[in-house]
Structure 1
Amino acid sequence: MTKTAAILGGGVIGGGWAARFLLMGWDIRVLDPAPQAEETVQAMLDRARAALPALYDVALPDEGNMSFHETISAAVEGAQWIQESVPERLDLKRKLYQQVQAVCDPGAIIGSSTSGFTPSELQGCATRPEQIVVAHPFNPVYLLPLVELVGSDKTDPALIDRAVALLTSVGMKPLKIRKEMPAHVADRFLEAVWREALWLIKDGVATTEEIDDAIRMGFGLRWGQMGLFETYRLAGGAAGMRHFISQFGPALEWPWTKLMDVPELTDELVDMIAEQSDAQSGDMSIAELESLRDGNLAAMMRSLKARGAAAGKVLQEHEKTLEPEAPDLMAPMVTLDRQVPVDWVDGNGHMNESRYVQAMSEASDRFLRWIGCTPDYIATQGSWFTVENHVRYFAEVMIGDRITATTHVLEAKGKKLKLFYRLECNGTLAATVEQLLIHVSMQTRRAENPPEEMAALTARIAAAHAAFGLPEGAGATGRK
């Protein structure tokens, strides 16, 4: 069944929602009366196409279809998810909900991107108040997984559960907020930091760049992978959180912060902040800064994914749902389909030669899983070790290119397995790799024959692949 989401408001947040759903295979209908709305969303989508697939080591679903509409009914009829991202005016939102609920499916979920209003406030004039929830994301929505999900006492818990499942399916991390509260959870932290930052600038203690350095060179890095409480747990040493609180708790009574006050935003202070911010960013445009931000986020999140930590764990779990099923193994098969990430390039601006081999290694890992060399098998029995590779390079591959690898089994005899890969980029041959593997016991770490069932399967595959002929360039490994 086609999955459809309606996006009401195509600005920075609405455009991010559109890109997130679209790249996860949903059809998207956008409603925004602004004359530049379509251009804004398309630009957002271009950035998302370069960034979101690069987080994954598998291909994302085929993109859905995106359309732009002039009426609410055309946008929302039949949509399973309706995301409202219009300006933060309660009267505007309530009026929009009345119009939406007159024509939308009663079973659809209406999520609001609001950062401040509670669900009860949003539901005030609604025909079906239980249908409306807060689904507050973070910019860029197509990359950052967190979405704060808030219901009221009128919200059916089953609807919240449906929302959690739906948002999880598009790679997000829904955080169910236990109680309604203005600004929810995350923005309350941001508000506290923002107030302190304004005072530091007004009092001449630090500039915008110095404050940003304090965050990005220090605690921001810790928060990005451990959060607040786990960071402080480590600060308490072996004794943990109790020791930390006993040591630093008394400082909370000292007048360090001005959290209950905010400096008056006079023209002088606004000018000072704006001038410092302009100087800090140098000659970079907003588009260039967004591209830099997305590349940095993708690289950091990929690193976290390799360790199964924080946002990276969300990626890991979502990637499992996108893992392709085993195809017909009796014909050469696609074992790799992915986008080239930002950390795979070298000084020449193209994919480093070692990454060609890494791509083939990922293709090999998937084929081996399909023949039974699973993590459980490796942990308890054996594995296949590469002993020789022969690589030929034919074409450059750039960041953001989509690459595929087709695997051809050349030989499967005893301990030996020979594989041949064709790596293609946008339909053009980029490289070939011939690989010789030996089956090894994980207990003795010595070569031994694979189990009879695995050996029989690989022999059948090799015989079937032989009918397709020897690939051009094959036959370079195993010569002694």
Structure 2
Amino acid sequence: MAPRTAAIIGGGVIGGGWAARFLLMGWDVRVFDPDPEATRKIDEVLSNARRSLPGLTDQAMPEEGRLTFHKTMSDAVDGVVWIQESVPERLDLKSKVYATLQEHAPKAAIIGSSTSGFKPSELQNCVPNPAQIVVTHPFNPVYLLPLVELVTTDKNPTDVIERAKEIITGLGMFPLHVKKEIDAHIADRFLEAVWREALWLINDGIATTEEIDNAIRYGFGVRWAQMGLFETYRVAGGEAGMKHFIAQFGPCLEWPWTKLMDVPELTDELVNEIADQSDAQSGQYSIRELERIRDNNLVAMMRALKAQDWGAGALLNVSETKPDAGDTTQLITTVRRAVPLDWTDYNGHMNEARYLQAFGDATDRFMEIIGCDADYIASGGSYFTAETHIRHIDEVHAGTKIRVETQCLLGEGKKLHLFHRMFDGDRLLATGEHMLIHVSLETRKARAPSDAIAATLGAIAQAHAMLPVPDGAGAAVGKR
């Protein structure tokens, strides 16, 4: 099937993000932007998108579409299916743009506006064919975040709305259909309320910008990321549910906690409406189930942040200590940890890839012990794994406290031969055997390690040679 074509009118931060999203999802993209730097800017956005967007899926991405830049809007919109307008937030400018678009674009093309400041009716009043125009307000970075606020009016026929939903969904995004237009739509109204309160906290000397950001990223921001506002509060209400939460915390709305004091009265009708909507949203789950879902999601997100050493994940890294090497003439404990929730698979036990991760962590710790640490690696030397053999001996489940003991079978010249054993108490769970080669990171070729590492490694290898040869060492797959 030939790729569909989208036109991007305005190639700034948001327009460039839209271009990347369409292009990487297989659409041909035609860009109009009078900025002489537009090509460079969009190429830079595309570079980031190509690096990050494919990481969201475990399947192959569509074949990337064709990107072209055009000197006129009329040329850019020739034959397109979708037009995304992302020009500056001036109604007079948008009015001129829409007049040109509707003169030259296909009558069936949908014109979506990235506007956060105008309602669709204000845009539609500028043109002879209002049915063609909808608001499709995204969030930055457009190529990663899925939300698109699709705001329509009664001037948009059903087929236009349904096609818009189908196209947005096909881009891997979520069309939140806002059926009743309002200034700033839905999401930005929340952001604006938080922003206003944050400005007051700074103005009144209560908090700094960093303290406010920490309050969000270490607390409710992580909760909101996976359950939103109302589902989070439903869980907070416990087994009694949303009505209990409102009864318990509703009176707080009358307290002077915030500068934003204009709140609706919590009438029985409003409480019942909220509770009914919450039941429809989450009533299929018990509170205990919602708590487990929440906990799974929080662990997964915070561990992802941990890998990036950022936000709440950075706190986890700071709190961790590495196992003490102890007596290196004996088996060395290189890993001591619990199996996290996101390490398990559809069989309910540890995913086979995580065995390799645990043994890889054990190898990394052994490398640090012999002196091949971050400073040494920065100087241009390291070990690369050449061969691995893992035996899965017993099941491992989430929460299991595992321990990896490491024996050095060979440590001379460029070669490092390790044998890891994973235990739960005295129960042997798995073994990992690894052959590594010392390399120059500059040439990417084998070379001898530093004298200091060679001496430390040699002493450990000599001592470990006196230990019993571990069962399974040197075994081939399927042979005992």
TM category, shorter: 0.5 to 0.7
CA contact (8 A) 1:23 1:64 kept: yes
Aligned amino acid, residue 197 of structure 1: A
TM-superposed deviation, 1:127: 2.1
Partner residue of 2:323?
none
CA contact (8 A) 1:51 1:294 kept: no
CA RMSD, 1 decimal:
3.6
Change (3 A) 1:127 1:391: farther
Cα distance in 2 for residues equivalent to 1:9 and 1:206: 38
Query: Which runs of no fewer than 5 residues in structure 1 stay unpaired?
Result: 262-291, 301-305, 308-343, 359-386, 397-474
Aligned amino acid, residue 133 of structure 2: I
Cα distance in 2 for residues equivalent to 1:144 and 1:172: 8
Change (3 A) 1:138 1:479: same
CA shift digits 1:261-300 (9 cap, x unpaired): 9xxxxxxxxxxxxxxxxxxxxxxxxxxxxxx999799x99
Aligned amino acid, residue 126 of structure 2: C
Partner residue of 2:212?
211
Aligned amino acid, residue 251 of structure 1: C
Partner residue of 1:106?
107
Partner residue of 1:63?
64
Change (3 A) 1:294 1:150: farther
TM-superposed deviation, 1:11: 0.6
1:215-226 residue pairs with structure 2 within 5 A? Answer: 215-226=216-227
Cα distance in 1 for residues equivalent to 2:438 and 2:14: 38
SS at match of 1:246: helix
TM-superposed deviation, 1:351: 13
SS at match of 1:134: strand
Partner residue of 1:272?
none
Partner residue of 2:188?
187
CA shift digits 1:73-93 (9 cap, x unpaired): 111111111000011111111
Identity %: 61
Tell whether 2:47 aligns with 1:52: no
Cα distance in 2 for residues equivalent to 1:63 and 1:10: 19
SS at match of 1:67: strand
SS at match of 1:117: coil
Cα distance in 2 for residues equivalent to 1:117 and 1:169: 26
Partner residue of 2:12?
11
Aligned amino acid, residue 253 of structure 1: E
SS at match of 1:6: strand
Partner residue of 1:145?
146
1:82-97 residue pairs with structure 2 within 5 A? Answer: 82-97=83-98
Query: Which runs of no fewer than 5 residues in structure 2 stay unpaired?
Result: 263-304, 314-341, 344-359, 365-373, 391-429, 440-474
Change (3 A) 1:32 1:389: same
SS at match of 2:104: coil
TM-superposed deviation, 1:259: 2.4
SS at match of 1:52: helix
Cα distance in 1 for residues equivalent to 2:166 and 2:51: 26
Cα distance in 2 for residues equivalent to 1:132 and 1:66: 24
Partner residue of 1:22?
23
Aligned amino acid, residue 45 of structure 2: M
Cα distance in 2 for residues equivalent to 1:103 and 1:395: 63
Cα distance in 1 for residues equivalent to 2:25 and 2:159: 24
TM-superposed deviation, 1:134: 0.2
TM-score by length of 1: 0.57
1:3-402 residue pairs with structure 2 within 5 A? Answer: 3-259=4-260
TM-superposed deviation, 1:55: 1.2
SS at match of 1:35: coil
CA contact (8 A) 1:389 1:477 kept: no
Cα distance in 1 for residues equivalent to 2:389 and 2:145: 30
Tell whether 2:460 aligns with 1:478: no
Cα distance in 1 for residues equivalent to 2:85 and 2:192: 23
SS at match of 2:94: helix
SS at match of 1:102: helix
CA shift digits 1:320-342 (9 cap, x unpaired): xxxxxxxxxxxxxxxxxxxxxxx
Cα distance in 1 for residues equivalent to 2:28 and 2:433: 43
TM-score by length of 2: 0.57
Number of aligned pairs?
303
Change (3 A) 1:78 1:199: same
Cα distance in 2 for residues equivalent to 1:125 and 1:245: 44
Aligned amino acid, residue 22 of structure 2: F
CA shift digits 1:352-407 (9 cap, x unpaired): 979x999xxxxxxxxxxxxxxxxxxxxxxxxxxxx9999999999xxxxxxxxxxx
Cα distance in 2 for residues equivalent to 1:294 and 1:86: 37
Aligned amino acid, residue 160 of structure 2: L
Change (3 A) 1:15 1:295: farther
Change (3 A) 1:352 1:186: farther
TM-superposed deviation, 1:478: 2.6
TM-superposed deviation, 1:131: 0.3
Change (3 A) 1:357 1:26: farther
TM-superposed deviation, 1:58: 1.3
Change (3 A) 1:251 1:92: same
Aligned amino acid, residue 4 of structure 1: T
Q: Larger RCO: Structure 1 or Structure 2 (Cα < 8 Å, ≥ 6 residues apart)?
A: 1
Change (3 A) 1:214 1:98: same
SS at match of 2:100: helix
Cα distance in 1 for residues equivalent to 2:93 and 2:306: 32
Partner residue of 1:456?
none
Partner residue of 2:413?
none
CA contact (8 A) 1:94 1:123 kept: no
Aligned amino acid, residue 168 of structure 2: L
Cα distance in 1 for residues equivalent to 2:87 and 2:223: 33
Cα distance in 2 for residues equivalent to 1:149 and 1:200: 33
CA contact (8 A) 2:136 2:148 kept: yes
CA contact (8 A) 1:2 1:26 kept: yes
Aligned amino acid, residue 479 of structure 2: R
CA shift digits 1:434-458 (9 cap, x unpaired): xxxxxxxxxxxxxxxxxxxxxxxxx
SS at match of 1:48: helix
CA contact (8 A) 1:111 1:135 kept: yes
CA contact (8 A) 1:390 1:476 kept: no
Partner residue of 1:280?
none
SS at match of 2:188: helix
